[in-house]
Amino acid sequence: MSLDPPAYILSLQNNIRARPISWEGAVRAKTITDSDLKKIKAIDKVRKEQRKQTIEADTDTYTTLLLGNGETKSIFESAAKRLDILQYMLVLTGDLIEDIPALVESLVKHPHPYKPLLPLLKQSNNAEDPIPLLTSAVLSSLLSRALVAQPKSTPEIDEALPKVYSYIAALSNTSDSNLQDIAVQEYSALLRTLKSRQQFWEQRKETLSPLVDILRNATGGRDSDSTLYNGGSSGSVRSAESSKMGGGVGLQLLYHILMVIWQLSFEGRLVGKGLDEEHDIIPLYAQLVRLSPKEKTTRLLLGTLYNLLSYNKSSLMPAAASAKLPTVLSNLKTRHFTDQDLLEDLESLTTMMDEFTSSQTTLDEYAAEVQSGHLRWSPPHKNGDFWRENARAIIENDNGELCKKLAEIMSKDWSNDKQVLAIGCNDVAFLVKQCPEKRQALEKFGLKIRVMGLMQDENESVRWESLRAVGEFLRYNFDA
């Protein structure tokens, strides 16, 4: 799935190509040498085939022009004060990387292929400044090819990739959809190998989080968990413009972000648990599938869900069940799709979910959810029959392993998802109510002191559920 270059960058590049450059003036000012000028003139404003033949006949010379060597500076270093030349050479270099594989091969074999370019990323703090924008386009294009060409990482890639990711992350964190689209397309170009996906994940607080925020905006800012749990209709979060989703998110930007996370999901074993714990990714994707306006976005959503669930069945299947994914998949089957990959993933996901739900007792589902480390308002939590039948087993089985895990979950702050604490307090209340003689054991696990500490929480739902739990402890104390 290749992507067309961002329109914003294409427009900028075409504008720069059309500008006249006073090359002779640069030679007189000793900004560039006469030799540099001859090399540039030989490939400037000529047909692509002629340019390719000229460079293939002398790749070493053009590699030195762009990257320098021990004795000669790169043109990006020698012309550092001539912004017009820098911009022009960045556009030209991007063209050469796209069109001439022999030059790319020579560039990536250079001892320091990224050294002259990396400082240009910090040329300005203005996100719309052309030089850092063009530099990131060149670096992402060159690095993506180097990552594929060199199966083993190199010190140069190890240094450059995090810096490029950080620059791209800053673009994605702006409010400008053009810059966001540039960012996600450059991410997509880079996420072609295990190494690049691992580094992206390592920097996920800056790389991934802004993208998930945009996806959440695309759902209209809904609490997808509560909507799905309560069985509410998703309704429409499309804006008046047919090319927009909720929050004004463009369909093209949505598609490109889904592409990035789909690429990341090929490392499902590495990223699955973190995506669930940090971003509640399964309920979010279930909601996005319901709202998906295009077959191509649905294909990426289902492909990502399949990758994540197949690698993390024990930890993510409970989240999928509580997000009513089987129902979402069943509804998709009533629509007419033609994409073969989509249909295969839909069938595989349906089979996977059917096998999971048919093999799970309600206690199994609850235990898997607790062991996943993230609580949701799945059906067992408010089901009195469930607690009457299973409270004692939850407290006693495996020396109270589930209660210990519940205490561990509740010991965290959950500032971004307070409902986890409310659900935990709800569960403690039911455990005390059904097994009052086990109050001492529950206190030993640390559950009593935690629910007492939450009575003053800023979140109303957490306060209510904690008061209910403490009330159960006190009621049986008084009764005794």
Between CA 371 and CA 381, with CA 375 as vertex, the angle to 5 degrees is 105
Segment 356-383 mean pLDDT: 85
Is the pLDDT at 479 greater than 80? The verdict is no
| Cα–Cα distance, 30 to 28 (Å, whole number) | 5
Looking at residue 322, its pLDDT comes to 79
Is residue 167 within 8 Å of residue 46, measured between CB atoms? Answer: no
Name 419's bridge partners: none
pLDDT per position as a tens digit, 205-246: 999 999 999 999 999 865 444 333 333 334 444 443 456 787
Cβ neighbours around 35 below 10 Å, total = 12
| Cα–Cα distance, 157 to 286 (Å, whole number) | 36
What rounded mean pLDDT belongs to the chain?
A: 90
φ, ψ at 250 (rounded to 5°):
-70, 150
Looking at residue 236, its pLDDT comes to 42
| Cα–Cα distance, 229 to 239 (Å, whole number) | 25
Name 250's bridge partners: 244
Residue 437, exposed/middle/buried by CB under 10 A (0-12, 13-18, 19+)? exposed
Segment 182-194 mean pLDDT: 96
Instruction: Look up residue 248 and give its two tokens.
Output: 């004004």
pLDDT per position as a tens digit, 463-473: 999 999 999 99
Looking at residue 477, its pLDDT comes to 63
Range with the poorest average pLDDT among 3-7, 77-81, 215-219, 247-251 = 3-7
| Cα–Cα distance, 294 to 292 (Å, whole number) | 6
pLDDT per position as a tens digit, 341-353: 999 999 999 999 9
Is residue 439 within 8 Å of residue 432, measured between CB atoms? Answer: yes
Residues 6 or more apart whose Cβ sits within 8 Å of residue 138: 90, 93, 94, 97, 117
Between CA 195 and CA 123, with CA 60 as vertex, the angle to 5 degrees is 60
| Cα–Cα distance, 189 to 181 (Å, whole number) | 12
Segment 298-317 mean pLDDT: 94
| Cα–Cα distance, 399 to 397 (Å, whole number) | 5
| Cα–Cα distance, 355 to 298 (Å, whole number) | 23
pLDDT per position as a tens digit, 84-113: 999 999 999 999 999 999 999 999 999 999
Cα atoms found within 13 Å of the Cα of residue 142, Cβ hemisphere only: 35
Range with the poorest average pLDDT among 249-253, 290-294, 374-378, 380-384 = 374-378
Is the pLDDT at 285 greater than 50? The verdict is yes
Looking at residue 318, its pLDDT comes to 83
Cβ neighbours around 369 below 10 Å, total = 22
Is the pLDDT at 177 greater than 60? The verdict is yes
Name 244's bridge partners: 250
Segment 141-167 mean pLDDT: 94
Instruction: Look up residue 222 and give its two tokens.
Output: 């809904």
State the SS3 of the chain. Answer: CCCCCCHHHHHHHHHHHHCCCCHHHHHHCCCCCHHHHHHHHHHCCCCHHHHHHHHHCCHHHHHHHHHCCCCCCCHHHHCCCCHHHHHHHHHHHHHHHHHCHHHHHHHHHCCCCCCCCHHHHHCCCCCCCHHHHHHHHHHHHHHHHHHHHCCCCCHHHHHHHHHHHHHHHHHHCCCCHHHHHHHHHHHHHHCCCHHHHHHHHHCHHHHCHHHHHHHHHHCCCCCHHHHHHCCCCCCCCCCCCCCECHHHCEHHHHHHHHHHHHHHHHHHHHHHHHHHHHHCHHHHHHHHHHHCCCHHHHHHHHHHHHHHHHHCHHHHHHHHHHCCHHHHHHHHCCCCCCCHHHHHHHHHHHHHHHHHHHHCCHHHHHHHHHHHCCCCCCHHHHCHHHHHHHHHHHHHHHHCHHHHHHHHHHCCCCCCCCHHHHHHHHHHHHHHHHCHHHHHHHHHCCHHHHHHHHHHCCCHHHHHHHHHHHHHHHHHHHHC
Range with the poorest average pLDDT among 111-120, 228-237, 249-258, 315-324 = 228-237
| Cα–Cα distance, 262 to 259 (Å, whole number) | 5
pLDDT per position as a tens digit, 378-430: 878 989 999 999 999 999 999 999 999 999 999 999 988 899 999 999 999 99
